[in-house]
């Protein structure tokens, strides 16, 4: 029996035709360099089909859940939903807002963000670690 049979059936993973349209859209190509087959949505579906262990799927940590792969898939594979369900299985928790503690984004994506916006500054910036609401609240408090 395939260990991920239920998930594959539910999210249509058996239908993957390896066309690669999801790979062309996936923002992990920038946020999770070096990009590789294993980190792409297509690679992840193939890994799940190959019954790889959960902690050997790097895309689980890096995925931003933008859902563009699910929207573009011609075979109607809901890759984002599959990743979400696998994350729940793996017990993977996102980085949280440092003030209110609500889930923010995957930790690798947060460190990408700190690199991308903070490279021009000597000190580490705080606001990328805040959720949009806490950030707006802090901005309003400091400027009104």
Stretch that binds other proteins, among 3-11, 13-21, 48-56, 97-105 (CB under 8 A): 97-105
Residue 35 gets which letter from DSSP? P
**Judged by CB under 8 A, which stretch of 2-10, 13-21, 41-49, 106-114 contacts other proteins?**
106-114
d(CA 90, CA 79): 16
- Of the candidate spans 7-15, 25-33, 49-57, 82-90, the one that interacts with other proteins by CB under 8 A turns out to be 25-33
- State yes or no: residue 114 binds other proteins (CB under 8 A): yes
Q: How many CB atoms neighbour CB 45 within 10 A? A: 27
Is 30 a binding residue for other proteins by CB under 8 A? The answer is yes
Length of the chain: 144
Other CB atoms within a 10 A radius of the CB of residue 106 amount to 23
34-73 binders of other proteins (CB under 8 A): 34, 64, 66-68
Q: Is 41 exposed, middle or buried (0-12, 13-18, 19+ CB in 10 A)?
A: buried
Structure tokens at 53: 């262990």
Q: Is 2 in the site for other proteins (CB under 8 A)?
A: no
Q: Using CB under 8 A as the criterion, which residues of the chain lie in contact with other proteins when the complex forms?
A: 25-31, 33-34, 64, 66-68, 93-105, 107-117, 119-123, 125-130, 132-144
């Amino acid at each position: 029996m395939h260990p991920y049979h239920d998930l594959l059936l539910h999210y249509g993973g058996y239908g993957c035709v390896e066309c690669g349209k999801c790979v062309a859209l996936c923002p992990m190509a920038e946020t999770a360099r070096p990009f590789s087959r294993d980190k792409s949505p297509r690679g992840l579906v193939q890994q799940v089909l190959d019954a790889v262990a959960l902690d050997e799927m790097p895309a689980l940590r890096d995925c931003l859940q933008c859902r563009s792969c699910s929207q573009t898939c011609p075979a109607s594979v809901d890759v984002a939903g599959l990743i979400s369900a696998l994350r729940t299985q793996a017990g993977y928790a996102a980085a949280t807002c440092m003030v209110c503690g609500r889930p923010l984004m995957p930790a690798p994506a947060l460190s990408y963000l700190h690199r991308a916006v903070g490279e021009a500054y000597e000190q580490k910036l705080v606001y990328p670690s805040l959720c949009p609401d806490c950030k707006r609240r802090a901005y309003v408090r400091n400027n009104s």
